[in-house]
Amino acid sequence: MTTMDTIATQAGVSKPLVYRHFHNRSEALFAVVTQESDRMLEQLSLTGDPVAAPDFEHLVGGFLAFAADRPKAYRLLFQMVDASSGPPRRQLDRLREVLSAGLAQAVVAQVEPSGEVALAISKSRVGRLMLSILEGVAGGLLSGEDPAVAALTLNRLLRPDRVVAALRPSAAAADEAGLAVPN
């Protein structure tokens, strides 16, 4: 459970100051989660409407750098809030949606620059898979791993072309489902 002490520490202010501006822990937590979510999205260039096609390496490196540079914020978002409910959790879910969509867009843009993605590939599935992996790796960063090394490793292991290929159905499975598999 996230306490007012944790929120005050994360915000870099005193606990009485938090109580002066917020009626309860949930309001304060929501404000900090919103601030840190916005900060992460800005760092990853995923703000604005519409968002330009993000660069895969920038997203991976930026996500891991955020976790390494702001470990308290990362823990608050992806560990403490993840275990809670209510408005702070819904804000985290929205952050994950934007991150997943950005990752999917970056992966697909790198693999198929024309934007023509096979119908059998779910962009949201690609994004959620990539985000899950990033969240797991970022957990290792909190114990001191170098973000540049982690980003390089991920870029080698999680090549967008391989991710998309792995998520494409095999010819037999697609035929069984009545889908056409592009050559």
Question: How far apart are alpha carbons 156 and 163 in whole angstroms?
Answer: 12
Question: How far apart are alpha carbons 40 and 63 in whole angstroms?
Answer: 8
Angle at 36 between CA 139 and CA 136, to 5 degrees: 15
Mean pLDDT to the nearest integer, 1-30: 77
Mean per-residue pLDDT over the chain, rounded: 78
**What confidence category does residue 90 fall into, taking pLDDT thresholds of 50, 70 and 90?**
very high
At 73, the amino acid letter reads: A
**Which tens digits make up the pLDDT trace of 112-151?**
766 555 544 677 777 888 898 888 888 877 877 777 777 7
Question: How far apart are alpha carbons 173 and 176 in whole angstroms?
Answer: 5
Task: Give me 182's structure tokens.
Answer: 């592009």
Tell me, what's the pLDDT at 92?
A: 93
CATH entry, 4-177, from 1.10.10.10, 3.40.50.300, 1.10.357.10, 2.40.240.20: 1.10.357.10
Tell me, what's the pLDDT at 94?
A: 94
Scan for tokens 């999205």, then name that residue.
41
Tell me, what's the pLDDT at 110?
A: 77
Q: Report pTM.
A: 0.76
